[in-house]
Structure 1
Amino acid sequence: MKIDPVTREFVRWVSWMHLGFYRMWSGATPLNRNTLILTTRGRKTGREISKPLLYYQQNERIFVVASYGGNDRPPAWYLNLVANPEVTVEIGSSRGTYRARTLTAEQKKETWPRLVAIYPTYNDYQQKTSRDIPLVELVPA
C-alpha cells in the first residue's frame, strides 16, 4: 500500500500539531496516554527530527512500531534510527538518550501483542503491507 500525497501531508500536519501540544502540556494530551516523542538525527540532513509515537514500556525498555500506517515503505524516522541508533525520548516532562535496535522476528512475537492491545490497528497495518513492520526497542544509553 502507498500513501497518497494529500494523506501524507495531512499526517505530517497532525503529527506536527500533536508534537506541539505534547510539549506545551508536558505529555498531558487527550490524544493517547501511551505517547512519547522520539527524536532522531536525519540520515541525510543531520537535523534533529521529532515524532510523536505510541509506545509500550517494560521496565527500562521502550518499544515503538515503525508502521507508517501500513505503507510499503518504512517511516523516515525508522530509517534515521537505523543509520544513527542514538535517539532522544521524551515521556511527559522526562527526557533521555536511548539506543535503538530492531527486534528480530522471534523477539517481536513476545512484545507485538502488547502494542496491539494499546492500538489494535497495528494488525490492520501489517495486513495492508508486504513488508514486516519493524518493532524497535529503545534502551537507555
Structure 2
Amino acid sequence: MSNVHDSPNAWVAEHIRRFEETGGRPRPGVNDLLLTTQGRKTGELPRTALVYARDGDRYVLAASNRGAEHHPAWYLNLVADPYVTVQVGTETFTAYARPAADERPRLWRLMVSAMPEYAVYQQRITREIPVVLLEPVPK
C-alpha cells in the first residue's frame, strides 16, 4: 500500500518498524497488529500498531490512546469508514471494524487481561475507552 503513512508519533513509528523487522512479533508475549484506516479528514491511510486479543475469529482492540481524554484518530477514522486493513504477523487482510456494544463488558475484561495498563488508563480518565471488534471480511 503505497499511500500508507506510519504514525507521526516516534514511539509508534519505531514499534511499526520493529513489527516489520520481526515478522509481526516485536514484543514476545504480546499480540500486536498493524491497523490501517482511511483518514476521515485527509483521505490518507494512516497506520498504527496496537495490542489485540482474540475472540473466536474476531480481533479485539481497546481505543485507549495511552489514557488520553480524547479518542485516538484511528478510532474516529474507523467509525467514519469501518473497512480497515489489518496485518497480523505476515498476513494482511481487510476487516470490518465496529465498536462493541452489548459485548463490551466481557471484551473489556479480555483486553485488560491482555494489557493490564488499560485498567489504569480507564481509572484516570472520564471517557469510556471504546472496545473495537475487527471481523475479517471473507475473500
Q: Which has the higher helix share?
A: 1
User: 1:97 maps to which residue?
Assistant: 94
Q: Distance in 2 between matches of 1:65 and 1:92?
A: 19
1:118 aligns with 2:114: yes
* Aligned-residue offset at 1:24: 2.2
For the pair 1:79 / 2:76, whether they are aligned, the reply is: yes
* Alignment of structure 1 residues 22-101 onto 2, 5 Å: 22-30=19-27, 33-101=30-98
Q: Residue 17 of structure 1 corresponds to which residue in structure 2?
A: 14
The answer on whether the counterparts of 2:25 and 2:32 sit within 8 Å (CA) in structure 1 is: no
SS of the equivalent of 1:131 reads coil
How far residue 51 of structure 1 moved from its aligned partner, in angstroms, is 0.5
TM-score when scaled to structure 2?
Answer: 0.88
TM-score where L is the length of structure 1:
0.87
Letter of the structure 2 residue corresponding to residue 92 of structure 1: G
Asked if the contact 2:60–2:134 (Cα under 8 Å) also holds between the matched residues in 1, the reply is: yes
**Distance (whole Å) between structure 2 residues aligned to residue 124 and residue 27 of structure 1:** 26
Between the aligned partners of 1:126 and 1:31, the Cα distance in structure 2 is 25
Structure 2: gaps spanning 5 or more residues: 1-7
Structure 1 unaligned residues grouped into runs of 5+: 1-10
State the Cα RMSD in Å: 1.4
Q: Quote the sequence identity (%).
A: 37
Alignment partner for residue 127 of structure 2, among 106, 128, 131? 131
Amino acid aligned to 2:64: S
Runs of 4+ in 1 over 2 A off after TM superposition: 30-33
Return the offset for 1:59.
2.0
| CA distance in 2: counterparts of 1:92 and 1:32, whole angstroms | 13
Partner-residue secondary structure (3-state), 1:78: helix
What is the identity, as a one-letter code, of the residue corresponding to 2:75? Y
Give CA deviations for 1:13-63 in whole Å, capped at 9, x if unaligned: 010011011112211223653100011011111111111000001221110
